[in-house]
Chain A
Amino acid sequence: MLRLSGVSYRYPGAPRDALTGVSLSVGPGEFHAVLGPNGSGKTTLVRIALGALSPLVGRADVDRRPASMWPRQDLAKLVGVVPQREDNLFPQRVRETVLLGRYPHLSLWGRERAADHAAVDRALAACDAQHLADRWLWTLSGGEYQRVRIARALAQEPKLLVLDEPGMSLDLKHEMGLFELVLGLVHTAGLGVLMITHDLNLAARFADSLLLLESGRPVASGPPAQVLTQETVETVFSWPVAMQTVDGRPQMIPLRQPKESRA
């Protein structure tokens, strides 16, 4: 469904590549997470995967067609995106904002039909957010707001969901709840998920496959147990860690740095 092969990219005027030789493939019912320190190329990878940028080398395809060649409206029927940040200019109610997700399915002058409202109801239900439908956006908590934004992406009825740091600034309960929700969508709806995050532990806990980037280069990719080894994590993040296993998945615990090696 989404396939990057040997993608490299350099921003105009930049001294080095933002991405070098990155490959990634996300199919239906698969949960992929892209990890890496700040500035490792995660956002660039998303932009290329969604056709906002064209790779200089390699290919980025959605359904076997280069992502940048897709008309935006058609692409939005296949791929739903929850960006890291957005600010709504005007006060809006939850149902209205989720209804915006139906945009790619509407004709220029046509009204929303019953089918569109039904899709909104399904999306709200899938995110356990029906009870929020009539609330104003600004009255929502951070966790509720993220659920609503995921519902909006689901209202697009996409085959692939792309989430950029969805757990940022959420507390434990809401962060775990959000990841459980996304995993549930993968299992029940067969949705493909590509998630950008720098939370190694949550990614390892929930995703089927990880891609670890460092300075735009793929360091490791595959099942969490293969990618998150002590050696790899310490090298990429330049910090000593200990590893444990929970639910069969590797979990990382940062260690205090010994005094003599502190700068």
Chain B
Amino acid sequence: MKWTLLALVAVLALLLSVVLGPAAVPFGELLRSDIVWNLRAPRALLAFLVGGSLGVAGAGLQALVRNPLADPFLLGLSGGAGLGAVLAIALHLPGPWALPIAAFLGALAALGLVYRLGLVGGASLDPRILLLGGVAIGAFAAAITTAIVSLADAAELRNAFLWLWGGLSGASWDSVLIVALYAPIPLAVLFAASRPLDLLALGEESAGYLGADVDEVKRRVYLAASLLTAAAVAVSGVIGFVGLVVPHIARLTWGHRHRSLLPAAFLGGGALLAFADTLARTVVAPRELPVGVVTALIGVPVFALLLKRWTIA
């Protein structure tokens, strides 16, 4: 029942984002319209894939760092990606793929640094150091980003600033295809880690005694979740709160078992971002809001409610 409902919500979110838009496409011509086929459809699908990836990455990382309030971007990836993107903008790198590739490389660099920091204590990743290292690397990258933006001219600055708040206007069938080929690998790694992630909620010592290879699980989950997030940020900028709020809502309904939690977080994250992007495109049409603004406007109140519930429980 709840799966049927979630699937309906997901389909509805996708349909809405194809039907609605600043250009009025008559209902009878939806299937023949260029706008629908080449702009709205790939954009809806990309939003869905990115949102789903962020939802799953968030759920996995929350179990890994043993903090239910962790967000995929907490681990420094947004800072690294932002720096890469702003560099690409400031250096006027040519071609449609320069910015996503630069952002992806920036995120990978941050991921590598944080991962290396997490290993300072030995072969076992320390979640506390991952969190602190992520915040530190993110702040460092953000400082450099701000320095570059402050030296840029006005138009560039606006582009960079908008990119940092996320947006899916660059969506194309190519980007959908790339994400659709890339994301299933880290997603499969995370889904395969469902049971050990359940155990990890008891603490690393207990998880080990119950049969989980804790060090291996932590490495896999961290790398897979980070690689998912890096791809998401490369194609759509920094979209906050999806990876934080969606796993929470999924937990309220599906409980804490990652076998059902992770698929629910994927569908829920996809639906939320497709819906948020529809709003971002339509509420101030013909202009467009960064989709991260919409997710934050939806996400922060939800988050506040969850926080209240969490402290009561």
Shortest C-beta distance, A33 to chain B (Å), equals: 19
B34: A residues at CB distance < 8 A: none
A89: B residues at CB distance < 8 A: 63, 66, 68, 201-202
| Contacting pair A108 B202 (CB below 8 A) | no
Q: Does A189 count as interface, using CB distance less than 8 angstroms?
A: no
Q: Does B198 count as interface, using CB distance less than 8 angstroms?
A: yes
| Contacting pair B212 A72 (CB below 8 A) | yes
| Contacting pair B202 A103 (CB below 8 A) | no
Shortest C-beta distance, A70 to chain B (Å), equals: 10
| Contacting pair A86 B192 (CB below 8 A) | no
| Contacting pair B209 A100 (CB below 8 A) | no
| Contacting pair B209 A76 (CB below 8 A) | yes
Contacting B212 at CB < 8 Å: which of A91, A103, A108? A103
Sorted nearest first, the 8 A-B pairs with minimum C-beta distance are A76-B211, A104-B211, A81-B209, A73-B211, A90-B256, A89-B201, A86-B206, A86-B203
Shortest C-beta distance, B259 to chain A (Å), equals: 8
Report how far A44 CA is from B142 CA in the complex, Å: 44
**Residues 188-239 (chain B) with a chain A CB within 8 angstroms:** 192, 195-196, 198-199, 201-203, 205-206, 208-214
| Contacting pair A76 B203 (CB below 8 A) | no
Report how far A155 CA is from B195 CA in the complex, Å: 16
Q: Does B313 count as interface, using CB distance less than 8 angstroms?
A: yes
Q: Does A75 count as interface, using CB distance less than 8 angstroms?
A: yes
Shortest C-beta distance, A159 to chain B (Å), equals: 15
Contacting B205 at CB < 8 Å: which of A74, A83, A97, A106? A83
Return the CB mask of A75-99 against B: 1 if under 8 Å, else 0.
Answer: 1110111010111111110001100
Total count of chain A residues near the partner, CB < 8 A: 33
**CB closest chain-B residue, reference A92:** B256
| Contacting pair A100 B203 (CB below 8 A) | no
Knowing A72-B208, A90-B68, A106-B195 are in contact, say whether A100-B213 is a contact too (CB < 8 A): no
Shortest C-beta distance, B313 to chain A (Å), equals: 6
A106: B residues at CB distance < 8 A: 195
Please report B residues at the A interface, Cβ cutoff 8 Å: 63, 66, 68, 192, 195-196, 198-199, 201-203, 205-206, 208-214, 251, 255-257, 313
Work out how many contacts link A and B, with CB atoms closer than 8 A.
Answer: 72
Shortest C-beta distance, B264 to chain A (Å), equals: 15
| Contacting pair A86 B210 (CB below 8 A) | no
Knowing A89-B66, A90-B251, A106-B195 are in contact, say whether A100-B210 is a contact too (CB < 8 A): yes
Q: Does A225 count as interface, using CB distance less than 8 angstroms?
A: no
Q: Does A101 count as interface, using CB distance less than 8 angstroms?
A: yes
B199: A residues at CB distance < 8 A: 100, 103
Shortest C-beta distance, B192 to chain A (Å), equals: 6
Report how far A83 CA is from B208 CA in the complex, Å: 11
| Contacting pair B210 A91 (CB below 8 A) | no
Q: Output the residue of A74, A85, A88, A103 with the most chain B CB within 10 A.
A: A103
**CB closest chain-A residue, reference B212:** A72
| Contacting pair A108 B210 (CB below 8 A) | no
Shortest C-beta distance, A31 to chain B (Å), equals: 20
Q: Output the residue of A50, A72, A97 with the most chain B CB within 10 A.
A: A72
Q: Does A52 count as interface, using CB distance less than 8 angstroms?
A: yes
- A sample of 24 inter-chain contacts (CB < 8 A) reads A50-B209, A52-B208, A72-B208, A72-B211, A73-B212, A76-B209, A76-B211, A77-B211, A81-B206, A83-B205, A83-B206, A86-B203, A86-B206, A87-B203, A89-B63, A89-B66, A89-B201, A90-B68, A90-B201, A91-B256, A96-B256, A100-B202, A104-B211, A152-B210
Q: Does A54 count as interface, using CB distance less than 8 angstroms?
A: no
**CB closest chain-A residue, reference B195:** A103
